Amino acid sequence: MIPIPRRSNPGTQPVERTGSVLRLRAIRSHEYLPARAEEQAYYVLLNVALRQDLSYERMPLNLCLVLDRSTSMSGIRLQAVREAVQRIVDHLSSDDVLSIVVFNDRAEVLLSHQRNIDRARVKAMVSTIQPAGGTELLQGLGAGVREVTQGKGEHSLNHLILLTDGHTYGDEQGCLEMAKWAGQNQVSMSLMGLGEDWNEALLDQMAALSGGRSIYIDSPRKVSEAFEQIINLLSGVVSPQTRLHILSGLSVDLHEVFQVTPEIQRVAVATTDRGCTAGLGLLSRDSERELLMEFRIRDLKPGVQMVASLNLELVAPGGIEPDKLCHEQITLNVEGFSPDDPNAPRVSSSKIPAAIPNALTRVVLFKMHEKAIADLEAGRIDAATQRLETMASRLAAIGETELARAAMLEAGQLARTGALSPEGRKRIHYGTRALSLTSRGKSHD
């Protein structure tokens, strides 16, 4: 009898779908897995982008600037903020709404929400901002959220930019609750920390709750650049809401989800009676979103089984079908095979598309940093030091020499003093988050 050769397994092929507005591309770690009761990991790298062959209308912007004017902002810091705001004023169109709040231990509405602003008058107002007092974040945040809420239009993109250079004390929980309320009411936030003396964990949590982002500005010289990057991003946003609905198959659990492009961050997933839902924030015509999802499959039987159905939902952009909900769906399957079957495909790690281990490497570094900080805050100095040293080695191995050097320097600082330097802590925190932007040799094979 002539032996029947095993089926070849050339590696997984992407699952792609181009719909009326969205283009989806899912790269799977496996097309085949051995049928067995034990739990097995299955990864999906999902790329979400708007179609580039369509014409989109720019959404009118409803923007509130919330600016720290405490004593620590004196001198070059406040001057840099004044100049950045004056440049933003020049970017706005007559359809955009602007409000400006300044705060220290109290909040002052410098400019109430206004459309078609008098540019010269607003610039003159901004030039009068003077430093004084302490820092109470909730005061400024509350006034800013009220302004942007009152400035909402039927189709506006509602956004709050907050800049601070100091720690707030005693109102952190109120800030988190305010950020959560904002996110639930379609107000996203960009939260900027200037210098080293502010709470990156608080700003990160607020950004996640509102569907926005936190930003580290290490020098006053970079304030204008940071503001302009946000305005350019907002100018490209064409839909205020994007949500991912995940329905897992039988005996399949969604373990965790990370965004890996444009920057690495955990994606909060809510469990509903119809699966899991994650908010993906603002979607811009000029940028794509990439998510790494880990599923755990138990009790896999021979044959084809659904791992998950992924349904992207967004409010259709202006110029397409305004206010209509658009849906695009991808179904992901895996085929279970009996290891004793002579026709069974060969499964090996070499068949996993390179994009998945590339993304996993960066997510592992991100999680390693999280664990190092958790060890430090729990008083486990030796464990935190060891994690930072391991991080440094792995960063060097992927070509991230500057970040590797920073991690090694901070490991030494931690071993000597029991604490990280404020500058080093933020540099590593935001550096590991930006690995997807700086990493070399990214592949989607």
| Partners of 265 in beta bridges | 259
Using CA atoms, how far apart are residues 200 and 185, in angstroms rounded to an integer?
A: 24
Taking the domains of the chain in order of start, what are their residue ranges?
15-55+240-351, 61-237, 355-438
Long-range CB pairs of 323-329, under 8 A, 24+ apart, other chains included: 323/155, 326/19, 326/20, 326/21, 326/22, 327/19, 328/17, 328/19, 328/20, 328/21, 328/22, 328/24, 329/17
Whether 81 has a pLDDT exceeding 90, the answer reads yes
Section 169-176 average pLDDT? 95
Digit-coded pLDDT (tens) for 114-140 = 999 999 999 999 999 999 999 999 999
Q: Name the CATH architecture for the domain at 61-237.
A: 3-Layer(aba) Sandwich (3.40)
Q: Which residue has the higher pLDDT, 281 or 144?
A: 144
Digit-coded pLDDT (tens) for 204-252 = 999 989 989 999 999 999 999 999 999 999 998 987 778 999 999 999 9
Phi, psi dihedrals of residue 7, rounded to the nearest 5°: -65, 135
Q: Which residue has the higher pLDDT, 347 or 300?
A: 300
pLDDT of residue 319: 57
| C-beta neighbour count of 10 within 10 angstroms | 8
Whether 2 has a pLDDT exceeding 60, the answer reads no
Question: Which residue, among 435, 437, 352, has the nearest Cα to 43 in the 3D structure?
Answer: 352
Whether 11 has a pLDDT exceeding 60, the answer reads no
pLDDT band at 3 (very low <50, low <70, confident <90, very high): very low
Cα-based angle 238, 246, 270 (whole degrees, multiple of 5): 85
Using CA atoms, how far apart are residues 280 and 338, in angstroms rounded to an integer?
A: 38
What is the fold, at CATH topology level, of the domain defined by 15-55+240-351? Answer: Immunoglobulin-like (2.60.40)
Which helix or strand (DSSP H or E) is residue 283 part of?
strand 283-284
Q: Which residue has the higher pLDDT, 339 or 185?
A: 185
